[in-house]
Structure 1
């Protein structure tokens, strides 16, 4: 008579029970080793880049550099970041740059102030509450640079025209190469600032209200910083045939509004030159300033609908822009249509 095989003492293997945990442990070890390899390669790449920049005349100093971010990021931190080339020096406060290990060509940076830039003559000082930047690159170079700053403030001294200062609530700046104008080494620049307070603008247009400014321009022959003074950099740009294509510049200041398009460059005397088309509202005061308060300027303002009666029937209505005759900048003078505007003399920028 057959006897049934005993089943109570069968020992089952536990290999498959522990396999997922063993694999997870091995994966964590492998990832840790890979991260430290990437970290070391990042340090070597930074050292190589700094050395290459030094050979090109640009000396970068990253004080107290540290590299962290395990397990998924690479974080490079400098307690101070400085750049020197020729007579030009620039410095920032604490700078932290972060990239994901799986997306190393997209870098997010947070930069603390103050900003100090000088070429021995002109000095720029800037501060902000928060400044963040993102850099998107490829094997061919920079694809896009974006900067956003809260409560920016800037002061420029040493300019021929005197000190310039300004502040705002929020600033944004975007720069990218123009793919359709690579032969001109063109860069597209879009910038905006909200609630800007600029004393120079108050004196020119009138009023003390904050202004909202927007710019969409293309700069040609923008092949990079050569390390000279500001005057030398501008002269190199001028000799290379650089120009500024104004796709749109707009400013809104209280009831005053202006939009401009056109093209600007520098003439041989280093003065602005070119032609711009202007549409404006509420700028009768500006026209009066340009014409020295003469009757012609006031009449022009009234004819263009910019005078005080323009919105008398609807005081809260949005002002309607009216097109001005083209503005030409030639030989140091400013002309509107066929007429040269008196009391306006364009000075050399350097």
Structure 2
């Protein structure tokens, strides 16, 4: 009898624990559900407010069939397509479905995917179309707003659309993978770009050799560009009057073809767009690089031929490359006292 009463008390205690655990789970589920739907309403309201604010500033953003999704562990926004039109700049762009999401326990990190194609119409440019296999982005937010943003695009291809709305022409540019990373470090903007296997044909009919492109740049007093955007909407004008650092800007022939050029050093840009700075230029197979630049950008051909000659004459060897130190003052390039040419203003 004593053993029976002991077993009954154990079963009763276990049942009470089970009931309390079940009640706790139910309470958490109710609270979590209420919190998710509150956040969903808040997200939808803030998106509506942002769209209205953009429209008030002259930029129309269309997000048809907008909905918030992801219950219970994620929260995100879905649009069947996305379209942006700026009355002031005359730029129009549209793309396929947009999907963004954040984990409910870490809403400061947002990831997104965009379906192609991207269609762009802009003044002084032909109608453009960009396609890809996969386009993903991620952002990190903090109390001061956007702190970091990354974009990765697999197999991007850029082409000119037919004027009559038909199929796009053969791609002007293709690459294997494009990555762009932007971040704030205090008041400094950090920007990095890599594009592997860039190839194609320019509008002038010149074939572009397959290249691997890398850029790692910082711009002083531009950290707020991530939040406020580029002042005036034009990067060339926004860079005037600013300084920064080229950590590494390089171009290299792909597919094990010899030839590369890498540039690094501090720079300053005057109010009239003229560039000054002290740069380290490292080149492998200078004549091949100069020939490629001359074919692609005839206006810089003379400068590159002068640089190639200077490298042959005065370059020092470091890790299989020829290196020279180039001084640029108000656009005028010099190797010591030897003039190399002038850079056009930005």
| TM-score (normalizing by structure 1) | 0.73
Report the Cα offset of residue 107 of structure 1: 0.3
Matched residue SS, 2:246: strand
Q: Kindly tell me: are residues 95 and 292 of structure 1, through their superposed partners in 2, closer, same or farther at Cα, counting changes over 3 Å?
A: closer
Task: Give matches, 1:240-255, under 5 Å.
Answer: 241-253=241-253, 254-255=257-258
Question: 5 Å matches for 1:93-132?
Answer: 93-122=96-125, 125-132=129-136
After superposition, the Cα gap between the structure-2 partners of 1:266 and 1:91, relative to the gap in structure 1 and judged at 3 Å, is farther
Unaligned runs of 5+ in 1: 158-163, 311-317
Counterparts of 1:135 and 1:147, CA distance in 2: 9
Of 234, 258, 261, 2:261 maps to 258
Counting matched residue pairs gives 312
Task: Show the counterpart of 1:161.
Answer: none
Q: Distance in 2 between matches of 1:208 and 1:153?
A: 14
- Per the TM alignment, residue 277 of structure 1 is displaced from its structure 2 partner at its CA by 2.5
1:42 is aligned to 43
1:197-246 CA distance string (max 9 Å, x none): 2556xx99xx975222211101245434368564xx533542xx134531
Task: Label 1:297 to 1:119 Cα distance change in 2 as closer, same or farther (>3 A).
Answer: closer
Aligned residue for 2:229, secondary structure, equals coil
- The reply to whether residue 322 of structure 1 matches residue 322 of structure 2 is yes
Work out which of the two has the higher radius of gyration on C-alpha atoms and give 1 or 2.
Answer: 1
Query: What is the DSSP-based 3-state SS (H/G/I as helix, E as strand, rest coil) of the residue aligned with 1:39?
Result: helix
Select the residue among 146, 150, 153 that pairs with 1:146.
150
Where does residue 282 of structure 2 map in the other structure?
279
Matched, 1:171 2:174: no
Q: How far did residue 74 of structure 1 move?
A: 0.4
Contact persistence 1:287–1:301 (CA under 8 A): no
CA contact (8 A) 1:281 1:319 kept: no
Q: 1:285 to 1:38 in 2, by over 3 A?
A: closer
User: Is residue 214 of structure 1 aligned with residue 218 of structure 2?
Assistant: no
Instruction: Quote the Cα distance in structure 1 between the aligned partners of 2:308 and 2:345.
Output: 29
- After superposition, the Cα gap between the structure-2 partners of 1:125 and 1:327, relative to the gap in structure 1 and judged at 3 Å, is farther
- Report Cα offsets for 1:148-203 as digits up to 9, x if no partner: 1111223589xxxxxx9432111221111121xx2xxx310011122222556xx9
The Cα offsets for residues 269-309 of structure 1, whole Å up to 9 and x where unpaired, read as 65666553211111223446545998x88765644689xxx
Which residue of structure 2 lines up, in the alignment, with residue 189 of structure 1? 191
Question: What does residue 137 of structure 1 align with?
Answer: 141
Unaligned segments of structure 2, at least 5 residues: 162-170, 295-300
CA contact (8 A) 2:155 2:175 kept: yes
Deviation at 1:44, TM superposition (A): 1.6
Cα deviation for residue 25 of structure 1 reads 3.0
**How many angstroms apart in 2 are the aligned matches of 1:301 and 1:261?**
16
Flag the 1:38–1:348 CA change in 2: closer, same or farther, 3 A: same
Q: Residue by residue, what CA displacement relative to the aligned partner does 1:5-42 show, whole Å, maximum 9, x if unpaired?
A: 9x79x987855165033432333233222222221122
Greater RCO, CA 8 A, separation 6+:
1
The answer as to whether partners of 2:158 and 2:173 remain within 8 angstroms in 1 is yes
Task: Tell me how far 1:116 sits from its aligned partner.
Answer: 3.3
8 Å CA contact retained: 2:110, 2:140: yes
**Moved >6 Å (runs of 4+):** 10-13
Measure, in 2, the Cα distance between the counterparts of 1:69 and 1:293: 54
TM-score calculated relative to the size of structure 2:
0.73
RMSD, matched Cα: 4.0
Please give the per-residue CA displacement for 1:80-118, whole angstroms capped at 9, x wherever unaligned: 122333223333321111011121111011112222344
The 1:302/1:208 distance shift into structure 2, 3 A limit, reads: same
